[in-house]
Structure 1
């Protein structure tokens, strides 16, 4: 290898050659040898590719809940992510983090945010770039926030930890958490950050005997108000929230939101579901439309499970359920105007098959 002609090429030439590769190939080349790794992690190469748009959009898994109680640094601490374009699983080692039990929960602009146990056994959020192995520790939080709070992240270095009673907000410019009270009627379900400033969440405003889901919103700038959350509703929407069983939200493309749940066969209390329905809300026009519904043959596998999980973002959504053993991917094409449904096999790890996750766009240039 020492006599290979590639060693004699000027550095600028090497950088130009490698900069034309897709990001997934750059990641692979870094593991070929020490010379490639030094070349592809050098500041000059990182600067060269910083102007290129992100080319890799992945769907990453969160670790199972039973890993939360581990008190040791895991030797196989890894972020598992699926590449829908190449139909393959990728591994991003997290062993460079000097923390116990890293638990990835969210991502934004190439950074992964995860809960970690600090040396004094308290929980803290960490922002890291698995590609460059750089990380930043955010101010510590209590363990209750990691158990009950939902983590929302957006640029630039904005983090929101949301619960029913309060919201913690962190900004890279202030470098500390600000606590705001919340006026939500119940625990927020699948809250999402839209357009980097608007937060949406579903809340149950029904009775103990029958759920009634409604959509609530607030802006990051209005969090200081005691009445920051408002209900989003229009008379024209009709029974859009009643036709779905256990709905949840996923951020769509641009100013659009996906609401996903089981399609009720009737409005009776214990009505069965005929399939899983994806509705799409355009926040500019405030109109709903149907984006897709799971094929009947696929839904039969989910019908036997008491619950299912949904994660993803943009035009790609993953579905998991207990004892199914694999994932379902909904991949919507704006050009074709419809979504493709397909199975994802080879899910890493073992367990009951109930996977959780988030969308991850790796970037070599992302700085914690």
Structure 2
């Protein structure tokens, strides 16, 4: 087959394969060296610029292992359309260890160790499909341990946030800008949406949590008091019905808030299921987006905590000793579907974290 394609002009190969989806192109690239070279060239990438991205769910390595044990690190991804696990090799990155944490616009963001010292950490942005990467200015190891990394595709904008400070980076300044944060507590699952940062903070006591939403626009980030509470009297006890809530991006102006649905308002109330709420940032009205089926939730009941990742119309759930992931999906009409994801890499018994990754060939850091 390699001989067949080697005899064709490259522009003919480009025209033939530009009619395929990115998912199909990636399969074809693995057929032969000739096809890999032709379907990885800048000219072909330009032809695919208008192609829809390839939506995937990426797994982060286990939290206790901040380094990959393998000399050839891999990014494990799940294709929810074809119900298959995939692997992207990260060995093209020139670092002793890398830790994928986030993605936006076809870019993958990773914490990387400096070859000279483990105390120096850098954020690296790359595209594992084109094998291109860029290293952002170094940060101390404390940021990699305690900061939340928020990214979007506008100017490769990156924010590293904790309760005391925020670091801001974009291609336009090519350096980190530091601003005071002054949040009342460590932000839980902050998200960057519509030029604003939204985070959950616990303003309660050591004995009883009290969650509130805080919002800060990127424009006001450099002011002395950038954060405001996002609340309405009509919301009532929306934060009291959920145990250990966390946020994810929804579609457009929507945010998702997910947690265990308490069976009562008592201090140590058990949960009856996992609830997904949605907040319209334009109207500031809450609605229910999804509710985990009771038979599925029984698998999560014995676990003291669970992890949530994803966004948009797909949310994944993991807990220890379950051996698989639970997936919630919603279509354009709002109809929801719950299913199990089997074949999780490793032993499948861990507490998995992850993020959405929209694979693109035309994303160049």
TM-score (norm 1): 0.96
CA contact under 8 A between 2:22 and 2:52: conserved in structure 1? no
Q: How does 1:75-94 map to 2 (within 5 A)?
A: 75-94=71-90
Q: Distance in 2 between matches of 1:111 and 1:343?
A: 27
Three-state SS of the structure 1 residue aligned to 2:64 is helix
Q: How far does residue 17 in structure 1 lie from its aligned partner after superposition? A: 1.0
Three-state SS of the structure 1 residue aligned to 2:111 is strand
Q: How far does residue 66 in structure 1 lie from its aligned partner after superposition? A: 2.6
1:198 aligns with 2:193: no
Three-state SS of the structure 2 residue aligned to 1:68 is coil
Q: Distance in 2 between matches of 1:351 and 1:359?
A: 19
1:105 aligns with 2:104: no
1:350 aligns with 2:347: yes
Aligned match of 1:228: 226
Three-state SS of the structure 2 residue aligned to 1:325 is coil
Distance 1:3 1:257, change over 3 A: closer
CA contact under 8 A between 2:243 and 2:262: conserved in structure 1? yes
Correspondence for 1:281 among 279, 282, 294: 279
Three-state SS of the structure 1 residue aligned to 2:66 is helix
Q: Distance in 2 between matches of 1:249 and 1:37?
A: 39
Q: Any idea what the Cα deviations from partners look like across 1:171-228, whole Å, max 9, x if unmatched?
A: 1110000010112100000000112x11100000000000000000101111101110
Q: How far does residue 69 in structure 1 lie from its aligned partner after superposition? A: 5.1
Segments of 4+ moved more than 6 angstroms: none
Q: Any idea what the Cα deviations from partners look like across 1:68-94, whole Å, max 9, x if unmatched?
A: 156x7x323011111110101111000
Q: Distance in 2 between matches of 1:345 and 1:48?
A: 35
Q: How far does residue 21 in structure 1 lie from its aligned partner after superposition? A: 1.2
Aligned match of 1:61: 59
Aligned match of 1:180: 179
Total equivalences in the alignment: 362
Q: How far does residue 124 in structure 1 lie from its aligned partner after superposition? A: 0.6
Three-state SS of the structure 1 residue aligned to 2:150 is strand
Q: How far does residue 2 in structure 1 lie from its aligned partner after superposition? A: 5.6
Q: Distance in 2 between matches of 1:161 and 1:152?
A: 6
Query: Structure 1 regions of 5+ residues with no counterpart?
Result: none
1:366 aligns with 2:358: no
Query: Structure 2 regions of 5+ residues with no counterpart?
Result: none
CA contact under 8 A between 2:208 and 2:267: conserved in structure 1? yes
Q: Distance in 1 between matches of 2:255 and 2:208?
A: 25
Aligned match of 2:39: 40
Q: How does 1:202-351 map to 2 (within 5 A)?
A: 202-335=200-333, 337-350=334-347
Q: Distance in 2 between matches of 1:350 and 1:128?
A: 28
CA contact under 8 A between 1:326 and 1:353: conserved in structure 2? no
Q: How does 1:68-147 map to 2 (within 5 A)?
A: 68=66, 74-121=70-117, 122-147=120-145
Distance 1:13 1:143, change over 3 A: same
Q: Distance in 2 between matches of 1:46 and 1:296?
A: 46
Q: Any idea what the Cα deviations from partners look like across 1:140-184, whole Å, max 9, x if unmatched?
A: 000000000000001221000000110000011100000101121
Q: Distance in 2 between matches of 1:2 and 1:86?
A: 27
Q: Distance in 1 between matches of 2:34 and 2:8?
A: 12
Three-state SS of the structure 2 residue aligned to 1:75 is coil
Distance 1:42 1:69, change over 3 A: closer
Q: How far does residue 53 in structure 1 lie from its aligned partner after superposition? A: 2.9
